[in-house]
């Protein structure tokens, strides 16, 4: 429940971002929204935490359609972040058609995208960070990177993430954690970490031989006259979600006992504030906030959730700061007598059109992209359909990829991983190589062609579904639901494992998937070593180029069972 003070503060910060129609022209929207509006904030205390997470190597402003499904199960059903559309707007008191409605929901998305423009761009984020540091004082601000920073674009793939490393260095973060970073392989990860001037933290990663820490767990900082401990938590299920063979010597996991020990040690070493910089995912960290004592703030990532303000869970503030550079999270803390006594929080939407780009960061972005400019801007087709990915089930970019794999690999069905990363193309947009790689740029891109029985396909869907919808967040290990091509099914997220998937249908014939029959299946991003097949980005470049204009029919093949 919001206090009156909280309500008035939230209203004052968002006043300039709400209350005007999505029918405004781009010029009128820009005139109604300013950089000062975005920075407006009721500062508290002597500590400011700034949080960026899940950038997925997006240096330039982007479109990113928020999800149409974000289903919570068990105790987490129907509460933030598991609200979308009008339910989200109602819960957070946001007006339909407003700037914040556009930033946070898919409601009227195309119209509002044309009104308010792109979000993000690291040069715009740099401007906001510098302004906050100048206003608060450098000694009062911590900038923390929640990971999934080094992967997800053409230039990150071609430079082994050096583009992101060089750009992030200009921001001078105080610490970072990781997930997709590990798909660069052990050697490259350690090479980058050794070159950084800030720590890579992971309380929960140990070596396989002696269970000794691989990375630092904690960074201690003096901020605004108070002692702050930053404890890092890498994505605990990285060897399940990604190829274990890329980092064979390291063991991951939640390791709650070790985390509690590190929190206690930080307190014993004089920490007045303990911040968990986490890539666990929102629901995991919501539960963790109740299970681990002594944490004041959890800055969470991985699930790409974005909520306008932090929520309080057993006196721990939990803030999710979105993805792809769309938002900059901020929490201010007042500390007295060794304890946090007051706080304020906000998620700042990075509206690219109204923020003056930072000159140094813009120059660096131009530098790292220049060698690839002609290829990045090469147009391979135009889309008549809104192309997006994010959601618990298939998006239109996923449908396009599934169709492409079936045709190019002569397959009956296709499976595409439920990645949360990938930007959006508006109807009428050109599709460039840059756009294609925003959906496909990764270090294990081979498109396989294998046979699976109907029973095996059912098992795969059930296993992935349990990773997403297990009622105990500690067993939620993956991204969104695997995307399917050539097949339909019904999903009951609230059911138990083995009972969530039904009515599997082979769309070509309309017949039920036969458990005993073998089907030729194309897919990509297998975690197995030595997978053979063309790279997904090469395959899809040919498929998309051949069509010249992309139109995706509405996909109703996946149905939800409501309880």
Per residue in 280-291, pLDDT (tens digit) is 999 999 999 999
3-class SS of residue 29: helix
Residues 198-248: pLDDT tens digits?
999 999 999 999 999 999 999 999 999 999 999 999 999 999 999 999 999
Query: How long is the chain?
Result: 563
Distance separating alpha carbons of residues 515 and 454, to the nearest angstrom: 4
Domains of the chain: 44-56+140-352 (3.60.21.10), 377-560 (3.90.780.10)
Place of tokens 């304020």: 344
Task: Of 15, 53, 505, give the one whose Cα is nearest residue 307.
Answer: 53
Residue 105 scores a pLDDT above 80: yes
Task: Of 357, 348, 309, 345, give the one whose Cα is nearest residue 328.
Answer: 348
Q: Are 37 and 119 in contact (CB under 8 A)?
A: no
Evaluate the CA torsion angle 511, 516, 520, 524 in order and state its sign: positive
| Number of C-beta neighbours around residue 547 at 10 A | 17
Burial label, 42 (beta-carbon count in 10 A; 0-12, 13-18, 19+): middle
- pLDDT at residue 291 in the model: 98
Q: Which of 156 and 3 is assigned the larger pLDDT?
A: 156
Alpha helix segments (H runs only) across 302-415: 359-369, 373-376, 396-408
Residues 330-362: pLDDT tens digits?
999 999 999 999 999 999 999 999 999 999 999
Q: Are 405 and 533 in contact (CB under 8 A)?
A: no
Q: Which of 24 and 544 is assigned the larger pLDDT?
A: 544
Q: For residues 139-156, give the mean pLDDT.
A: 98
Distance separating alpha carbons of residues 480 and 468, to the nearest angstrom: 6
Q: For residues 307-336, give the mean pLDDT.
A: 97
How far are the Cα atoms of 263, 270, 333 from residue 223, in angstroms, in the given order?
A: 18, 13, 11
Helix (H) or strand (E) holding 132, with range, is: helix 122-136
Residue 563 scores a pLDDT above 70: no
Q: What is the value of pTM for the model shown? A: 0.95
Q: Are 438 and 63 in contact (CB under 8 A)?
A: no
Report the interhelical angle of 433-440 vs 396-408 (nearest 10°). 90
Strands 483-485 and 487-491: unpaired
519 contact partners, CB below 8 Å, separation of at least 6: 412, 413, 451, 452, 453, 454, 457, 506, 513
Q: What is the mean pLDDT of the chain?
A: 94
**Predicted confidence band at 32 (pLDDT cuts at 50, 70, 90)?**
confident
SS (H, E, C) 198-246: CCEECCCCEECCCCCECCECEEEEEECCEEEEEEEECCCCHHHHCCHHH
Residues 530-556: pLDDT tens digits?
999 999 999 999 999 999 999 999 999
- pLDDT at residue 443 in the model: 97
Place of tokens 């899809």: 540
Q: For residues 386-397, give the mean pLDDT.
A: 94
3-class SS of residue 439: helix
Q: For residues 143-162, give the mean pLDDT.
A: 98
- pLDDT at residue 20 in the model: 40
Q: Are 322 and 350 in contact (CB under 8 A)?
A: no
- pLDDT at residue 25 in the model: 57
- pLDDT at residue 29 in the model: 59
DSSP letters, 84-136, are: -HHHHHHHHTPPTTSHHHHHH--TTHHHHHHHH--EE-HHHHHHHHHHHHHHH
**Predicted confidence band at 518 (pLDDT cuts at 50, 70, 90)?**
very high
Give the tokens for residue 306: 């974005």
Burial label, 341 (beta-carbon count in 10 A; 0-12, 13-18, 19+): exposed
Could you say which DSSP state residue 483 is in? E
């Amino acid at each position: 429940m919001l206090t009156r003070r909280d309500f008035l503060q939230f209203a004052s910060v968002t006043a300039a971002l709400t209350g005007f129609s999505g029918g405004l022209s781009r010029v009128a929207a820009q005139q109604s929204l300013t950089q000062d509006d975005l920075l407006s904030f009721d500062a508290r205390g002597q500590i400011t935490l700034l949080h960026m997470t899940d950038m997925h190597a997006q240096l330039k402003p982007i479109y990113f359609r928020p999800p149409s499904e974000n289903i919570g199960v068990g105790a987490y059903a129907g509460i933030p972040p598991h609200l979308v559309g009008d339910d989200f707007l109602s819960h957070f008191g946001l007006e339909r058609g407003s700037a914040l409605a556009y930033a946070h929901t898919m409601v009227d998305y195309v119209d509002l995208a044309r009104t308010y423009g792109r979000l993000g761009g690291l040069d715009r984020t740099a401007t906001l960070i510098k302004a906050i540091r100048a206003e608060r004082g450098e000694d009062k601000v911590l900038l923390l990177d929640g990971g999934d920073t080094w992967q997800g674009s053409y230039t990150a793939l071609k430079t082994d993430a050096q583009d992101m490393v060089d750009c992030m260095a200009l921001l001078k973060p105080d610490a970072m954690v990781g997930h997709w970073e590990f798909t660069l392989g052990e050697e490259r990860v350690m090479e980058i970490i050794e070159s950084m001037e800030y720590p890579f933290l992971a309380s929960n990663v140990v070596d396989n031989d002696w269970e000794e820490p691989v990375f630092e767990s904690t960074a201690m900082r003096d901020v605004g006259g108070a002692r702050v401990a930053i404890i890092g938590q890498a994505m605990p299920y990285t060897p399940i979600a990604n190829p274990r063979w890329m980092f064979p010597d390291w063991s991951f996991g939640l390791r709650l006992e070790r985390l509690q020990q590190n929190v206690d040690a930080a307190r014993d070493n004089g920490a007045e504030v303990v911040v968990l910089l986490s890539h666990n995912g929102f629901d995991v960290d919501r539960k963790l906030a109740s299970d681990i004592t002594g944490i004041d703030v959890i800055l969470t990532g991985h699930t790409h959730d974005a909520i306008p303000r932090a929520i309080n869970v057993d006196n721990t503030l939990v803030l999710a700061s979105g993805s792809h550079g769309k938002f900059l999270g901020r929490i201010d803390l007042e500390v007295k007598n060794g304890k946090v006594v007051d706080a304020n929080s906000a998620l700042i939407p990075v509206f690219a059109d109204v923020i003056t780009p930072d000159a140094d960061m813009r120059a660096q972005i131009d530098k790292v992209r220049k060698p690839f400019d002609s290829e990045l801007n090469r147009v391979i087709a135009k889309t008549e359909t809104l192309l997006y990915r994010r959601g618990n089930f298939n998006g239109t970019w996923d449908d396009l990829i599934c169709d492409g794999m079936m045709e190019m690999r002569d397959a009956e069905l296709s499976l595409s991983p439920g990645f949360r990363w990938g930007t959006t193309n508006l109807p009428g947009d050109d599709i460039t190589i840059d756009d294609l790689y925003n959906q496909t740029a990764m270090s294990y891109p081979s498109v396989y062609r294998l046979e699976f029985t109907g029973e095996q396909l059912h098992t795969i869907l059930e296993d992935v579904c349990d990773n997403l919808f297990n009622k105990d967040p500690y067993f939620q290990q993956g991204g969104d639901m695997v995307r399917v091509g050539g097949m339909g099914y019904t999903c009951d997220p609230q059911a138990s494992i083995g009972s969530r998937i039904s009515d599997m249908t082979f769309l070509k014939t309309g017949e039920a998937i036969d458990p005993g029959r073998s089907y030729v299946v194309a897919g990509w991003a297998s975690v197995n070593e030595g997978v053979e097949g063309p790279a997904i980005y090469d395959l899809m470049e040919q498929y998309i180029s051949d069509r010249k204009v992309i139109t995706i029919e509405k996909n109703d093949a996946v149905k939800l069972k409501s309880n």
